[in-house]
Amino acid sequence: MSSKYILPTASLLLILLLNACSKREPNPGSPATIQVFNALNDGTGVYINLTDLRPQVFKTNRLLNSNAFVPANNRFYLNASPQPVQFYSRLDTLPKDAPIVTGNLEYENGSIYSLFLYGSKSTAKYIWHQDQIPPLGMGDSVTNIRFANFSEDQTISVNLKGQPAGSFIQQVQLRSFSEFIKLPANITIAKYEFEIRDLNTGGLIATYVADKVNDFSGNTGSNAWYNKSNTVVLVGKQGGTGTLLPKLVLMPHR
């Protein structure tokens, strides 16, 4: 074969390979992805209303349960910044009842954001955060994880089981998040077990197991960790019970 055909063919193959391995970047032409987490400490479920008008029928709005995250319910795609938002208590939807908190969300199309609602029904506030999700290629045998602290009264540290306190993440202040941390997710890794501790006392608050890191036996042929980015959210209170029972909730980003 003539060399004049080999070079263009090789160049084309290289371009295709680079495109296949390219990292996923935000697309300015696509909607923004908004993930909403209801961390209200009194168990209040809320209806989210993405207008500045009172809903006529609340059941047509999505209900966000406290301390739970279901992507199909808690993830939204928006493309008209600024976006008005209202949260109504599930139990207070009479004409006299006002939203427990309102706001306007400003965002860039193609970017990813998290909204954390916290406090109680009478003191509700929210944090609005633009997420920088680590880019991942389909051939990357890794997982990315961060921890969000929406507990009631403690700064926390994180360590892998058997390692010193704070050796994985030194500290996560109240109402804040760690950076994403990359971990191997190759065939030798079955699970990661994390211990979340009170930074000041070292006392164990809760544990979280990232299980089945390389198990693809599910119906979809995928899992929650391989080539994924996730936030693990701490809610509740050390030694708490009921709605204040310490709990770790997975919030996936892809």
Confidence of residue 214 (pLDDT cuts 50, 70, 90): confident
Could you tell me if residue 42 is left (phi over 0), alpha (psi between -120 and 50 degrees) or otherwise beta? alpha
Domain boundaries, the chain: 26-131, 134-254
- State yes or no: pLDDT of 3 exceeds 50: no
- Torsion (CA) 245, 248, 249, 254 in degrees, nearest 10: 170
pLDDT of residue 223: 85
> Mean pLDDT across the stretch 43-61?
93
Residue whose C-alpha is closest to residue 156's, from 117, 165, 208, 143: 165
Give the pLDDT confidence of 146-157 residue by residue, as tens digits.
999 999 989 999
pLDDT at 220: 63
* 12 pLDDT more than 90: no
**Check whether domain 134-254 has CATH 2.60.270, yes or no:** yes
Show Cβ contacts of residue 82 under 8 Å, excluding neighbours closer than 6 positions. Answer: 104, 105, 106
Q: In this prediction, what percent of the chain has a pLDDT beyond 70?
A: 86
For domain 26-131, say whether CATH 2.60.40 is its number: yes
Taking only the tens place, the pLDDT of each residue in 13-51 is 333 333 334 344 556 679 999 999 999 999 999 999 999
Model pLDDT, residue 107: 96
* 52-54-55-56 Cα dihedral, nearest 10 degrees: -140
Per-residue pLDDT tens digits for 120-144? 999 999 999 999 999 876 667 899 9
